[in-house]
């Protein structure tokens, strides 16, 4: 793909509402600081950029009514489906994290650069601009398979769906990885050893690890959480502890009041209770996702809650569908706003 466009040429392309290739000499002048619409088709775009954080502005709409969404990299939802009337144009912006590996830390490296997919029930992309983000705040995610950027359908982690709820200026750097416990995440240099140096002053670091701490004793689990909290603070970041999403495992009385659903391991370690205790002792913000997802799943009942998980597809009551991950990401968004960890105006309510 050709490198493209100085900012003025991109602005002109957006104003014209067209996907226009930009001459190579303009690309050289831009020195990689601003990219335009070369490399886009009606349904996909590729930008040759190095790892970093980028602001993306899209111009949506066309001659006909349209409904357009944007995803990117490893199946991350970046912009929710946006409706435009016939002849209408809508400008939307978001900030995206580009990294290597582009998905799970222990997963494939992925393709270099930034790859975006233009989706929705009737997609219409009229223009796009990608520029390095100068003042973005990161939300880094430390977690397991219920959080991570899942590489293949029908799986989806809530961290994979969270970016669509955030406006320009907030990026999600999802370093969650399938199969990780607090023990393995701290021990693997690809995990915490890579994440900690990336934390900057004011960045949020959301930690949800519990599902795979099946043989971790309580003292070790608590100490590991404390290590993660102190490690975030050493870098000037702000740790946020998140209790694990429930397993969809109903008791005979129609509740989730059992050890399997509520993440109590074989040693009797009540993971959500320990997370809550560490948050209180260390004065760390807490998102009680166990309580929130429990209430939601119980309210939907045995049948209604199936769509949140991969029960129909895989008989899986632990991992979420794209729908379930989106709903759970919405719970995280609401908690971040309610606790004033992010401003109300920095999120989308769809």
Give the model confidence (pLDDT) of 197-240 as tens digits: 999 999 999 999 999 999 999 999 999 999 999 999 999 999 99
pTM of the model: 0.89
Quick one: which of 153, 205, 218 has its CA closest to 176? 205
3-class DSSP assignment, residue 139: strand
**Predicted pLDDT of residue 37:** 66
Neighbours of 8 (CB within 10 A): 11
Q: What is the pairing mode between strands 204-208 and 90-98? A: unpaired
- Rg of the chain over Cα atoms, rounded to whole angstroms, equals 21
Please list the ranges in the chain whose pLDDT falls under 50: 1-36
**Predicted pLDDT of residue 42:** 81
- Contact (CB, 8 A) for 281 and 225: no
| pLDDT tens by residue, 28-74 | 223 333 334 677 888 999 999 999 999 999 999 999 999 999 999 99
- Contact (CB, 8 A) for 70 and 124: no
Distance, in Å, from the CA atom of 66 to the CA atom of 272, rounded to the nearest integer, reads 43
**Predicted pLDDT of residue 19:** 34
Exposed, middle or buried by CB within 10 Å (0-12, 13-18, 19+), for 285?
middle
Place of tokens 């769509």: 307
């Amino acid at each position: 793909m050709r490198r493209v466009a100085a900012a003025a040429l991109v602005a002109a392309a957006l104003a014209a509402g067209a996907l226009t290739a930009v001459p190579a000499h303009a690309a050289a002048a831009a020195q990689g600081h601003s990219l335009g619409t070369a490399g886009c088709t009606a349904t996909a775009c590729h930008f040759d950029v190095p790892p970093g954080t980028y602001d993306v502005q899209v111009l949506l709409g066309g001659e006909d009514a349209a409904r357009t969404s944007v995803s990117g990299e490893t199946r991350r939802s970046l912009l929710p489906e946006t409706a435009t009337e016939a002849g209408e144009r809508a400008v939307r912006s978001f900030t995206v994290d580009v990294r290597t590996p582009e998905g799970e830390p222990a997963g494939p490296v992925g393709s270099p650069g930034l790859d975006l997919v233009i989706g929705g029930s009737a997609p219409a992309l009229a223009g796009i601009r990608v520029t390095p983000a100068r003042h973005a705040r990161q939300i880094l995610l430390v977690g397991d398979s219920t959080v991570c950027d899942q590489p293949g359908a029908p799986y989806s982690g809530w961290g994979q769906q969270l970016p669509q709820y955030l406006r320009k200026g907030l990026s999600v750097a999802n370093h969650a990885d399938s199969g990780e416990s607090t023990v393995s995440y701290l021990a693997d240099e690809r995990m915490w050893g890579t994440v900690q140096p990336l934390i900057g002053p004011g960045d949020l670091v959301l930690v949800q690890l519990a599902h795979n701490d099946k043989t971790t004793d309580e003292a070790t689990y608590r100490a590991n959480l404390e290590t993660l909290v102190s490690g975030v603070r050493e870098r000037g970041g702000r740790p946020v502890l998140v209790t694990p999403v429930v397993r969809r495992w109903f008791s005979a009385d129609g509740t989730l009041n059992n050890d399997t659903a509520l993440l109590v391991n074989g040693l009797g370690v009540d993971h959500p209770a320990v997370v809550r205790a560490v948050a209180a002792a260390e004065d760390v913000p807490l998102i009680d996702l166990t309580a929130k997802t429990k209430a939601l799943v119980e309210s939907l009942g045995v049948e209604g809650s199936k769509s949140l998980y991969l029960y129909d597809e895989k008989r899986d009551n632990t991992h979420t569908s794209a729908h379930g991950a989106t709903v759970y990401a919405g719970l995280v968004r609401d908690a971040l706003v309610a606790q004033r960890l992010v401003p109300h105006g920095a999120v989308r309510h769809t």
